[in-house]
Each structure stands twice: as C-alpha cells, then as structure tokens.
Amino acid sequence: MSPDSPRLIAPRLLEVGSEKPVSCSLDGLFPAPEAGIYLELGDQRLNPYVTLEGDALMATATVTASAEQEGARQLVCTVTLGGESRETRENLTIYSFPAPLLNLSEPNAPEGKMVTVTCTAGARTLVTLEGIPAAVLGQPAQLQLNVTENDDRRGFFCEAILEVDGEILSKNESAELRVLYGPRLDDSDCPRSWTWPEGPEQTLRCEARGNPAPSVHCARPDGGARDKPRVSSVIWSFTSLYTVSCHHRTLGQGWGPAPSSSSLLLISSAQHGPPICPLTQLDPEGGRSGAFPRSVYQQSHAALPGEAK
C-alpha cells in the first residue's frame, strides 16, 4: 500500500441549503480491487461513487449542508487495504447567511410623505444602507426622507457582510421608491408662446409630468378642443388662444383629487407684412394685461380651421 495520504478535494465553506462535490483518491494500491475507500462528514457517512483505474482508487460524493450541521465540521477520507489504512482530514465550515431585507415603509408614497427605509440581516451580519453602516453587528440600518418629485424612481441599495472562518462574504438587495405627485406643466414642457413660419402644417405639442402619468387636454376659449391641436396651414397673420390643462387618468392609492396645471398659449405667424397694430394680452381669467411683443402683433384676426371668422 502506498505510504502517501489520500488526496481530498473539498470546499472550505458551505452555505446551508447548498451542495458541493467532494472527491478523494489514492494511487499505488496493489491489489487495487481489494482496497476500500470511505467518506464521512462529521458522524455522517457519505455514499460516494467509486471508480478504479489501474492502481488508483477514487471516490466522489455530493455534500448537502443542513441547518443542523451548521458550524465547523471535519470531512474525512479513509482508504483501507489488507489491514492497513490511510486517512486525510479537512475542515469544512457550514454557515447560514440569508440575504438582507430592504423595506420601504411606503413603496408608493405621495409627495411630502415621510418614508422610512430599513435594511436588516442576520445576528452576526453587518449591514450597510446607501453606504452608511449600522452601528453594531446584527442591528438594522435605517434612513428617513421627506419625499419629493425628485425622489420618484430613486433606488436604494442594502449590503450585508458576514465573516466566516476568515473569509468576508457579502450579499445585497435593492429597491425602488415611487413618488405620487400631481401634474407638472411648465414652460419647458409646454411653451407659453409659439411662433411658426407661414405655410407649413404645424402641430401643437404639450407634455406634462406626474405620477400616475397625467393626460393633456388642449382647448380654445370657444369650446373647441383637441388632444393634439393641428393647424393645417399657417396663414399670413393670426393669433389663437389655447388653454392647456392636465390631470391624472387615474387617482389610485387612496389620495385626494389630482391637482391640475394650465398654460396660456398664444400661437402666431412670423412673416413680415404691412404695418400692424398692437394686440393686448389676454390672461386666463379673461382680463387684459399689456401688449404682446411685436412678433405676436396682428393686423387682423384670421381663424384657425374650425373657428368662425
């Protein structure tokens, strides 16, 4: 029998609920068919698959870690032949490391609501939330924020770190916050005045922000309305007044009526023409507040398609 010890290949660490292969082999055996090979984990004998090739014997098995085995264990390989035996031992640590839990007190929160974000993990684990570690092992990490529109779709990252037998292990979890806020309609979304060249077809486009996504409604003071008002052909000199409003398609989440925004749009042609007279500006309530710049003066009102001249 060979004076060498069996070669045992096995992991140093094994997480509860996982499984890994182990193998043990020894050559220089004669007569090799009479040799025996055994694998044990702690006091549990494994059921290996044994192969014989020449004077070499090999056993392979799968080790499955259970919660009852958690802690430091010894994996033992023994080869016997004619009353002699050779043995090799390796340490195997079985550990438990659940993924961290990342909780938002309100994953869908209305604007202005205080939201608490909490990251928790196991007793021997250090958690870090958004780069800020918990005070001690086993304690949760937490932060609070008064949510605004800018926090919509904000992601949060939680990391848990566990040291096992000198090795640092980590797991992480992430979550996204949705903020419910009323429609926003400003000059960047919907300019208050439009100047178009004479002739081509033009389409009035306004977009609104909000969560849930708002719908946009455009209307003329005479009651005409279109979701996307289209001017089929811009003629020499016209001005037309539109009021744009937006509202939520669905309220949801049990909060009150959705607010709306409006914008006064003045659309005018931009071609040169004969001397023109100033036109006073209309506000949303129907009042007058000064004159428009020269680019939106008009000599005579020309109707949009569908408007009475």
Whether the CA torsion 123, 126, 131, 132 is positive or negative: it is positive
Contact yes or no for 280/204 (Cβ under 8 A): no
Is 101-181 in CATH node 3.30.365.10? no
DSSP bridge pairs for 112:
none
Q: What is the pTM of this model?
A: 0.68
Task: Report whether pLDDT(265) > 70.
Answer: no
pLDDT digits (tens, 9 = 90+) for 189-198: 777 777 777 6
Residues in contact with 209: Cβ distance below 8 Å, sequence separation at least 6, in sequence order: 149, 183, 184, 185, 189
pLDDT digits (tens, 9 = 90+) for 91-136: 999 999 999 999 999 999 999 999 999 999 998 999 999 999 999 9
Residues in contact with 159: Cβ distance below 8 Å, sequence separation at least 6, in sequence order: 100, 127, 128, 170, 171, 172
Residue found under tokens 């006091």:
43
Measured CA to CA, the distance from residue 198 to residue 196 in angstroms comes to 6
The closest alpha carbon to 121, from 94, 88, 159, 69, belongs to 159
CATH 2.60.40.10 maps onto the chain at 7-95, 101-181, 185-296
Task: Report whether pLDDT(219) > 80.
Answer: no
Is residue 218 very low, low, confident or very high in pLDDT (cuts 50, 70, 90)? confident
Measured CA to CA, the distance from residue 227 to residue 229 in angstroms comes to 6
Measured CA to CA, the distance from residue 75 to residue 160 in angstroms comes to 29
Q: Vertex 72, ends 70 and 74: CA angle to 5°?
A: 115
DSSP state of 298: B
Which pLDDT score is estimated for 243? 59
- Which of 82-86, 213-217, 224-228, 283-287 is modeled with the greatest confidence? 82-86
Q: Vertex 30, ends 24 and 36: CA angle to 5°?
A: 40
Is residue 242 very low, low, confident or very high in pLDDT (cuts 50, 70, 90)? low
Task: Report whether pLDDT(260) > 50.
Answer: no
Residues in contact with 204: Cβ distance below 8 Å, sequence separation at least 6, in sequence order: 194, 218, 228, 229, 230, 231, 242, 265, 267
Q: Which two tokens stand for residue 223?
A: 């009651």
Contact yes or no for 185/208 (Cβ under 8 A): yes
User: Does the N-terminal peptide bond of residue 212 adopt cis geometry, omega within 30 degrees of 0?
Assistant: yes
137 in helix, strand or coil? Answer: coil
Is residue 55 very low, low, confident or very high in pLDDT (cuts 50, 70, 90)? very high
Topology of the domain comprising 7-95 = Immunoglobulin-like (2.60.40)
User: Does the N-terminal peptide bond of residue 31 adopt cis geometry, omega within 30 degrees of 0?
Assistant: yes
Give the mean pLDDT of 234-253. Answer: 50
185-296 falls under which CATH superfamily?
Answer: Immunoglobulins (2.60.40.10)
pLDDT digits (tens, 9 = 90+) for 272-281: 433 333 333 3
Residues in the chain: 309
Task: Report whether pLDDT(153) > 70.
Answer: yes
Other beta carbons less than 10 A from residue 227's beta carbon: 9
Relative to beta strand 114-120, strand 101-104 is antiparallel
